Structure 1
Amino acid sequence: MSKTLLYGATKIDETNSAYAPIESLAEFQWKNRVFILFADRDNSRAARQENQLLANRSALDERDLVVLKVSGAGVRPLFGAADDLDGEVIRRDLEAPEVGEFAAFLLGKDGTVKLKVSEPITDGELFAIIDSMPMRAAESLKPDK
């Protein structure tokens, strides 16, 4: 498996077939990319990540990105819509750290994990990763995107 470290981030090699789509987030597969952040105990890093992403809503929309925040068993959509999601199941499926530890994951439209971070990343870094994905490159060639 090929990994690239990027400010505490692990970019997952999207050609690695060992990663399967995340079942608990199947409602988004082939429609949206999903960025899931798990709140830290004092919420400081999660709040910083939240503010970083939500400052550029048009870029989130352009990339078909849904942003979800998991706090304990609760899941709150920060950008985009989501129905009846269970934070504990998502945490288990993603093998995320224990409750109270910050982590964030990016899922591609194919439903697989593309990025895992243990520290907040900038919107520019996230968008660069998304924009380097083959599916995103194909989307940008379409006249309506």
Structure 2
Amino acid sequence: MSKTHLYGATKVEETQGGQAPVASLEEFRWKSRVLVIFADTDNSRAARQENQLLADRTGLQERDMVVFKISGSTVKPIFGAGGDLNETALRKELRGPEAGEFAAALVGKDGTVKLKVSEPVSNGELFAIIDSMPMRAAEALKPDR
């Protein structure tokens, strides 16, 4: 079941349980949280999302994030190390939009989709969602963090 929240003017869909892990992102499971940005035709919203994220590289790194952008049939790493990912598989598994439409999806360390947005989300909103996750709370308690 999913819940829809409004953060500012951004429609956010938080998904809960019952989902199978995203197979095409298996290499990141239990290591990293993955944000996949689907670029819009003119790239305006995707570029805004990318710029917002990269303005706080420390925040991304502290939350073990990797970020990819799908533009057309290309998957481009934006932040963090990434493997050879297939655009078609990601779009299907993440239930991404048609090519040319903006969306972003957050995949947790457990490999399941935690958040989908249809408009760019601020770092504050994204980090608040991540920081509310039980696994992130446990990480924050570790002395080596």
Shared fold, TM over 0.5: yes
Shift of 1:4: 3.3
TM-score (ref. length: structure 1): 0.95
Question: Does the 8 A contact of 1:72 with 1:88 survive in 2?
Answer: no
CA distance, structure 2, for counterparts of residue 131 and residue 53 of structure 1: 16
Q: Provide the identity percentage.
A: 65
Aligned equivalent of 1:73: 73
CA distance, structure 2, for counterparts of residue 91 and residue 49 of structure 1: 18
Aligned equivalent of 2:49: 49
Question: Does the 8 A contact of 2:2 with 2:13 survive in 1?
Answer: no
Q: Gaps spanning 5+ residues in structure 2: where?
A: none
CA distance, structure 2, for counterparts of residue 4 and residue 118 of structure 1: 11
Greater than 3 Å deviation, 4+ residue runs:
none
Aligned equivalent of 2:117: 117
SS of corresponding position for 1:143: coil
The CA RMSD over aligned residues, in Å, is: 0.9
CA distance, structure 2, for counterparts of residue 135 and residue 111 of structure 1: 12
CA distance, structure 1, for counterparts of residue 4 and residue 144 of structure 2: 32
SS of corresponding position for 1:48: helix
CA distance, structure 2, for counterparts of residue 140 and residue 28 of structure 1: 20
Q: Gaps spanning 5+ residues in structure 1: where?
A: none
CA distance, structure 1, for counterparts of residue 77 and residue 122 of structure 2: 19
Query: How many pairs does the alignment contain?
Result: 142
1:72-111 correspondence to structure 2 within 5 Å: 72-111=72-111
Deviations 1:65-98 (A, max 9, x none): 0010011221111000111111111101111110
CA distance, structure 2, for counterparts of residue 75 and residue 9 of structure 1: 23
Aligned equivalent of 2:38: 38
